[in-house]
A = this chain, B = another copy of it.
């Protein structure tokens, strides 16, 4: 089989960790697999390099920062090659130049545009394990461009796609995707499998196991992902289009990193929503859930959520433009939380929605806003009730997970 494996920085943080990963790679190699290994920088290397850069320049050029950071993964692949040859595995390390991973020109958050697989295929045909630097690509001027935090996942999935790999294994210090954060929810259950859409909802909601873009690419090209721990040998979670064992609900997550902004007493005239949201768009503030309701005296209220750190800024921009859209009041609430239930079976099973509302009602949780999609139901609730609500809701939904 042709397999892409990706190992994160925490799996590579010292010689012992590198050795453990090398053992795992060697085992798969000696079983006869063709292996392409994508590596992140070791442990805390990237942060240390950024610290060094900031000592010299607190507003570093992103082009030079990328040039600096790209060395981290290059060290990882070279070191891993040495560890593998000690284990009688022939391998070759390639950086983004050598692996011909091309990107658009955006330093710090580049997107992969093309991978010329000639060299990688040639090395594979010579029975070499191919070790490729994650997180980096080269733009049209031959400069390093990094793919943003977590970009090694994206590298791995893109490489798995262009090489027609049977699947892509993502190894980290997390052993799979859980139905809730196990630190918050004692009965959180590791999922055997999950579909791409639900995975996307879960990861954007805060289950920071997989880089979002990597899931998007995997979905687009149908790359099967196996999420596993590099520290033990237990089964992980498979991410694929149509899992055989379909769960109705994949997970329950809570996000306390939100703020709600209420714009109250708007005149009911066309274009008012456009006015409000263009102020925020022009200032690069993304908006999540939007709710519009009828207020008193034929006015409208508009409530929406932004990330917690954007809250004060958003309020400030709106207040300075308040005159234009004639709002009676604008209120920032930083004590909210977003509770979400994610699952491919939500739409087909309206009973789940009913269970959610019943559970929260019985627990006395007040619901401020509701937003639903085919595979997600999000509820804005008071932050102080969030911890209790996620545990209650998860355990009540366990039969659907």
Known contacts A71-B75, A75-B49; decide if A86 and B56 are in contact (CB<8 Å).
Answer: yes
Q: Which of chain B's residues has its CB closest to A100's CB? A: B142
Task: Give the residues in chain B near A61, CB-CB below 8 Å.
Answer: 81-82, 85
Asked whether any CB of chain B lies closer than 8 Å to the CB of A55, the reply is yes
Task: Give the residues in chain B near A143, CB-CB below 8 Å.
Answer: 98
Bound-complex Cα distance A19 to B55 (A):
10
User: Mostly helix, strand, loop or mixed at chain A's interface?
Assistant: helix
Contact of A78 among B22, B64, B74 (CB under 8 A): B64
Question: Would you call A19 and B74 a contact (CB within 8 A)?
Answer: no
Copies of this polypeptide in the complex? 2
Q: Which of chain B's residues has its CB closest to A68's CB? A: B78
Asked whether any CB of chain B lies closer than 8 Å to the CB of A93, the reply is yes
Question: Would you call B82 and A18 a contact (CB within 8 A)?
Answer: no
Question: Would you call A18 and B74 a contact (CB within 8 A)?
Answer: no
Asked whether any CB of chain B lies closer than 8 Å to the CB of A83, the reply is yes
Asked whether any CB of chain B lies closer than 8 Å to the CB of A332, the reply is no
Bound-complex Cα distance A65 to B77 (A):
11
Question: Would you call A15 and B75 a contact (CB within 8 A)?
Answer: no
Contact pattern, A 44-77, Cβ under 8 Å of B = 1, otherwise 0? 0000010011011100110111011011101101
Question: Would you call B57 and A78 a contact (CB within 8 A)?
Answer: no
Question: Would you call B74 and A60 a contact (CB within 8 A)?
Answer: no
Question: Would you call B93 and A56 a contact (CB within 8 A)?
Answer: no
Asked whether any CB of chain B lies closer than 8 Å to the CB of A280, the reply is no
Contact of A71 among B60, B71, B81 (CB under 8 A): B71
Question: Would you call A56 and B19 a contact (CB within 8 A)?
Answer: yes
Task: Give the residues in chain B near A18, CB-CB below 8 Å.
Answer: 56
Asked whether any CB of chain B lies closer than 8 Å to the CB of A29, the reply is no
